[in-house]
Amino acid sequence: MTVTMGDNRYGKAGVHLVRVDRRPDGHRVRDLTVRVALEGDFADAHVTGDNALVVATDTMKNTVYAFAREALDGSIEHYAIALASHHLLQRQVHRATVWVDEQAWQAIDTGAGPAADAFARSGMLTRTAMVAVEAAGLVVEAGIEDLAVMKTAGSSFAGFPRDRYTTLAETDDRIMATRVSAT
Protein backbone atom coordinates (compact mmCIF):
# COMPACT_ATOMS: atom_id res chain seq x y z
CA MET A 1 0.00 0.00 0.00
CA THR A 2 1.37 3.38 -1.01
CA VAL A 3 0.58 6.41 1.08
CA THR A 4 0.84 9.87 -0.42
CA MET A 5 0.65 13.03 1.63
CA GLY A 6 -1.29 15.81 0.00
CA ASP A 7 -1.49 19.47 0.85
CA ASN A 8 -1.79 20.08 4.54
CA ARG A 9 -2.48 23.04 6.77
CA TYR A 10 -0.88 24.41 9.90
CA GLY A 11 -0.64 27.79 11.50
CA LYS A 12 -0.69 30.08 14.48
CA ALA A 13 -3.83 30.78 16.51
CA GLY A 14 -4.69 33.08 19.38
CA VAL A 15 -2.42 35.97 18.43
CA HIS A 16 -3.69 38.87 20.55
CA LEU A 17 -2.98 42.30 19.14
CA VAL A 18 -3.87 45.61 20.76
CA ARG A 19 -3.03 48.77 18.84
CA VAL A 20 -3.50 52.24 20.28
CA ASP A 21 -3.51 55.17 17.88
CA ARG A 22 -2.73 58.29 19.93
CA ARG A 23 -4.44 61.23 18.28
CA PRO A 24 -4.83 64.80 19.59
CA ASP A 25 -8.62 64.42 19.61
CA GLY A 26 -8.47 61.13 21.53
CA HIS A 27 -6.99 57.70 21.30
CA ARG A 28 -8.42 54.86 19.23
CA VAL A 29 -8.07 51.27 20.46
CA ARG A 30 -8.04 48.24 18.14
CA ASP A 31 -8.22 44.88 19.93
CA LEU A 32 -7.82 41.86 17.64
CA THR A 33 -7.41 38.13 17.96
CA VAL A 34 -5.84 36.69 14.82
CA ARG A 35 -5.42 33.17 13.48
CA VAL A 36 -3.29 32.32 10.42
CA ALA A 37 -3.30 29.00 8.53
CA LEU A 38 -1.09 28.09 5.59
CA GLU A 39 -1.85 25.26 3.17
CA GLY A 40 0.64 23.86 0.71
CA ASP A 41 3.42 21.42 0.07
CA PHE A 42 4.94 20.82 3.48
CA ALA A 43 5.23 17.04 3.08
CA ASP A 44 9.04 16.99 3.50
CA ALA A 45 8.68 18.33 7.02
CA HIS A 46 6.52 15.33 7.94
CA VAL A 47 8.20 12.67 5.82
CA THR A 48 11.92 13.47 6.05
CA GLY A 49 12.08 16.11 8.79
CA ASP A 50 13.20 18.80 6.34
CA ASN A 51 11.80 22.16 7.49
CA ALA A 52 13.20 24.15 4.54
CA LEU A 53 9.70 25.06 3.30
CA VAL A 54 8.01 25.48 6.68
CA VAL A 55 7.16 29.05 7.67
CA ALA A 56 7.73 29.17 11.42
CA THR A 57 4.61 29.91 13.47
CA ASP A 58 6.71 32.50 15.30
CA THR A 59 7.17 34.27 11.95
CA MET A 60 3.39 34.16 11.44
CA LYS A 61 2.89 35.79 14.85
CA ASN A 62 5.49 38.48 14.15
CA THR A 63 3.92 39.17 10.75
CA VAL A 64 0.56 39.74 12.45
CA TYR A 65 2.21 42.44 14.58
CA ALA A 66 4.21 43.97 11.70
CA PHE A 67 1.18 44.21 9.44
CA ALA A 68 -0.76 45.97 12.20
CA ARG A 69 1.51 48.94 11.66
CA GLU A 70 1.30 48.73 7.86
CA ALA A 71 -2.27 47.63 7.12
CA LEU A 72 -4.55 48.17 10.14
CA ASP A 73 -5.72 51.65 9.23
CA GLY A 74 -9.10 50.49 7.91
CA SER A 75 -11.32 47.45 8.15
CA ILE A 76 -10.30 44.10 9.57
CA GLU A 77 -11.09 42.64 6.14
CA HIS A 78 -8.48 44.91 4.50
CA TYR A 79 -5.96 43.92 7.18
CA ALA A 80 -6.68 40.19 6.75
CA ILE A 81 -6.34 40.42 2.95
CA ALA A 82 -2.93 42.13 3.28
CA LEU A 83 -1.74 39.55 5.82
CA ALA A 84 -2.94 36.53 3.82
CA SER A 85 -1.57 37.93 0.55
CA HIS A 86 1.85 38.36 2.16
CA HIS A 87 2.00 34.69 3.16
CA LEU A 88 0.95 33.61 -0.33
CA LEU A 89 4.22 35.08 -1.67
CA GLN A 90 5.98 31.94 -0.36
CA ARG A 91 6.12 29.53 -3.34
CA GLN A 92 5.20 26.48 -1.23
CA VAL A 93 2.07 28.15 0.18
CA HIS A 94 -0.94 27.45 -2.03
CA ARG A 95 -3.56 29.05 0.23
CA ALA A 96 -3.34 31.40 3.18
CA THR A 97 -6.34 31.86 5.46
CA VAL A 98 -6.61 34.56 8.12
CA TRP A 99 -9.36 34.90 10.73
CA VAL A 100 -9.70 38.16 12.67
CA ASP A 101 -12.01 38.90 15.60
CA GLU A 102 -12.22 42.51 16.77
CA GLN A 103 -13.46 43.47 20.22
CA ALA A 104 -14.90 46.96 20.61
CA TRP A 105 -13.71 49.46 23.22
CA GLN A 106 -15.65 52.61 24.12
CA ALA A 107 -14.08 55.81 25.39
CA ILE A 108 -14.93 56.72 29.00
CA ASP A 109 -15.70 60.36 29.72
CA THR A 110 -13.35 61.11 32.60
CA GLY A 111 -14.11 64.83 32.61
CA ALA A 112 -10.48 65.60 31.77
CA GLY A 113 -11.28 67.02 28.34
CA PRO A 114 -12.18 65.84 24.86
CA ALA A 115 -9.11 63.63 24.28
CA ALA A 116 -10.14 60.11 25.29
CA ASP A 117 -7.47 58.06 26.99
CA ALA A 118 -9.62 55.79 29.17
CA PHE A 119 -11.69 52.94 27.74
CA ALA A 120 -14.08 50.18 28.72
CA ARG A 121 -14.70 47.08 26.70
CA SER A 122 -18.15 47.55 25.23
CA GLY A 123 -19.02 43.85 25.04
CA MET A 124 -21.69 44.82 22.53
CA LEU A 125 -20.47 42.50 19.77
CA THR A 126 -17.41 41.03 18.11
CA ARG A 127 -16.65 41.90 14.47
CA THR A 128 -15.36 38.91 12.54
CA ALA A 129 -13.58 38.39 9.24
CA MET A 130 -12.19 35.37 7.43
CA VAL A 131 -10.05 35.84 4.33
CA ALA A 132 -8.64 33.01 2.21
CA VAL A 133 -6.21 33.92 -0.57
CA GLU A 134 -4.90 31.61 -3.27
CA ALA A 135 -3.68 32.01 -6.84
CA ALA A 136 -7.24 31.68 -8.21
CA GLY A 137 -8.52 34.58 -6.10
CA LEU A 138 -9.82 35.34 -2.67
CA VAL A 139 -12.79 34.68 -0.44
CA VAL A 140 -13.91 37.18 2.19
CA GLU A 141 -16.51 36.45 4.86
CA ALA A 142 -17.36 39.11 7.42
CA GLY A 143 -19.86 39.21 10.21
CA ILE A 144 -20.65 39.68 13.86
CA GLU A 145 -20.75 37.42 16.90
CA ASP A 146 -22.56 37.74 20.21
CA LEU A 147 -24.69 40.79 19.47
CA ALA A 148 -27.25 40.82 22.28
CA VAL A 149 -30.56 42.39 21.29
CA MET A 150 -33.82 42.85 23.19
CA LYS A 151 -37.30 44.05 22.30
CA THR A 152 -39.34 45.02 25.36
CA ALA A 153 -42.77 45.24 23.72
CA GLY A 154 -44.71 44.31 20.60
CA SER A 155 -43.16 40.89 20.11
CA SER A 156 -45.80 38.21 19.66
CA PHE A 157 -45.70 34.46 19.66
CA ALA A 158 -49.02 33.02 18.58
CA GLY A 159 -50.49 30.67 16.02
CA PHE A 160 -47.94 27.94 16.63
CA PRO A 161 -48.88 24.25 16.48
CA ARG A 162 -50.35 22.89 19.69
CA ASP A 163 -50.70 19.35 20.91
CA ARG A 164 -51.32 17.68 24.27
CA TYR A 165 -47.75 18.52 25.40
CA THR A 166 -48.02 22.25 24.69
CA THR A 167 -48.36 24.40 27.80
CA LEU A 168 -47.09 27.72 26.46
CA ALA A 169 -49.77 30.38 26.27
CA GLU A 170 -50.06 32.50 23.14
CA THR A 171 -49.19 36.18 23.54
CA ASP A 172 -49.17 39.33 21.43
CA ASP A 173 -46.89 41.33 23.74
CA ARG A 174 -43.79 39.87 25.35
CA ILE A 175 -40.14 40.58 25.94
CA MET A 176 -37.91 39.02 23.32
CA ALA A 177 -34.13 38.74 23.74
CA THR A 178 -31.52 36.85 21.75
CA ARG A 179 -27.88 36.75 20.74
CA VAL A 180 -27.09 37.15 17.05
CA SER A 181 -24.10 35.73 15.19
CA ALA A 182 -24.13 36.19 11.44
CA THR A 183 -21.74 36.12 8.45
pLDDT digits (tens, 9 = 90+) for 67-78: 999 899 999 999
pLDDT score, position 113: 65
How far is Cα 150 from Cα 177, in angstroms, rounded to an integer?
4
Total Cβ atoms within 10 A of residue 82: 17
Phi, then psi, of 108 in degrees rounded to 5: -105, 130
Q: Backbone phi, then psi, for 167, in 5-degree steps?
A: -120, -10
Nearest to 18 by CA among 69, 81, 59, 86: 69
* pLDDT reported for residue 114: 63
CA angle (72 as vertex; 68, 73 as ends), nearest 5: 140
Low-confidence ranges of the chain (pLDDT < 50): none
pLDDT at residue 112, as a whole number: 67
Between CA 32 and CA 93 the distance in angstroms is: 24
Distance CA 164, CA 34 (A): 50
